[in-house]
């Protein structure tokens, strides 16, 4: 009898301890749910704030069109453009390693430097230097940015640019012939740089040409189950559209990458130029 009583008592104690643990875990779960809800709301707010950092200028969109679709609430991709006079416009498209809040913060740092130096009519090389060093100083766990930065001259139909570790830049002519300009420099923020001469720029005649700059979220995005768009697929889509309009191309690419509802593997960002 004593043995039975001891067994029942032990079972009751065990069940009671399980019950209280269940209550504790429920309280913790509710608190975690509340925390996650708050964090989600904060991420959504951060995403809305970030959207306001992207430019919206119909006048400049005659020459430059860009679009961003984030994979999460906050994008690690970024683009900007800024007209310094009637004839010249600065532009940038960048992709931070990683996604989410940390990537968004690092990109905001680079964005502030770009906008400040563009307003000062700084050279492309000097702008690249200051962005590089700011990213290096403020990056978290060796994060860096791949980017294409430059400025266009509307009268001369020229573009001076620099590619810092980014995807090759697509150059498309009116006959739908494609060329690609590869990066000549490492990504921004990998190492400190002392002199702007490190950032050698290229000047290109872009008469009757369309320039398309995009992140890997475009070419590596899914258009079907397990099937990526890829560069060749993007070329085919452009030929099917039968247009060299940056706005039409970018809007179409975004549509086919999002219309089937597949989870985005990465942010989708593209910037096109046509004078």
Check residue 84 and give its pLDDT.
95
pLDDT, one tens digit per residue, over 65-113 is 999 998 877 777 899 999 999 999 999 999 988 766 777 778 888 888 9
Helix residue ranges, H only, the chain:
2-51, 101-119, 124-138, 216-219, 230-241, 246-258
Question: Of the candidates 111, 81, 266, 269, which has an alpha carbon nearest to the alpha carbon of residue 188?
Answer: 111
Check residue 25 and give its pLDDT.
60
Check residue 261 and give its pLDDT.
86
What gap in Å lies between CA 53 and CA 206, rounded to an integer? 28
Check residue 14 and give its pLDDT.
44
Check residue 16 and give its pLDDT.
52
What are the mean pLDDT values of the chain's consecutive 10-residue runs (275 residues total)?
50 49 60 61 55 83 95 83 96 86 80 92 97 90 92 98 97 97 96 96 98 96 91 97 98 95 89 98
The answer to whether domain 57-274 has CATH 3.90.550.10 is: no
Check residue 61 and give its pLDDT.
94
Check residue 26 and give its pLDDT.
66
- Decide: pTM greater than 0.85: no
Residue ranges of domains in the chain? 1-52, 57-274
């Amino acid at each position: 009898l004593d043995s039975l009583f001891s067994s029942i008592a032990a079972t009751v104690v065990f069940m009671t301890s399980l019950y209280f643990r269940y209550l504790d875990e429920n309280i913790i779960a509710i608190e975690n749910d509340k925390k996650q809800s708050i964090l989600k709301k904060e991420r959504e707010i951060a995403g809305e704030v970030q959207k306001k950092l992207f430019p919206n200028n119909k006048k400049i969109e005659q020459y430059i069109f860009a679009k961003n679709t984030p994979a999460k609430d906050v994008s690690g991709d970024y683009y900007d453009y800024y007209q310094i006079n009637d004839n010249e416009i600065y532009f940038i498209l960048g992709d931070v390693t990683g996604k989410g809040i940390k990537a968004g913060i690092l990109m905001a740092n680079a964005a502030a430097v770009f906008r400040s130096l563009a307003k000062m009519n700084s050279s492309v090389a000097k702008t690249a230097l200051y962005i590089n060093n700011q990213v290096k100083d403020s990056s978290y766990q060796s994060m860096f940015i791949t980017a294409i930065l430059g400025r266009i001259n509307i009268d001369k139909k020229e573009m001076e640019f620099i590619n810092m570790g980014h995807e090759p830049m697509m150059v498309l002519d009116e006959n739908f012939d494609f060329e690609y300009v590869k990066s000549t420099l490492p990504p921004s923020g990998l190492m400190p740089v002392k002199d702007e001469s490190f950032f050698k720029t290229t000047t290109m005649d872009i008469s009757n040409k369309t320039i398309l700059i995009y992140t890997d979220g475009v070419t590596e995005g899914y258009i079907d189950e397990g099937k990526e768009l890829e560069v060749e697929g993007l070329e085919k889509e452009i030929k099917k559209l039968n247009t060299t309009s940056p706005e039409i191309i970018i809007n179409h690419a975004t549509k086919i990458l999002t219309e089937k509802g597949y989870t985005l593997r990465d942010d989708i960002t593209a910037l096109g130029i046509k004078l």
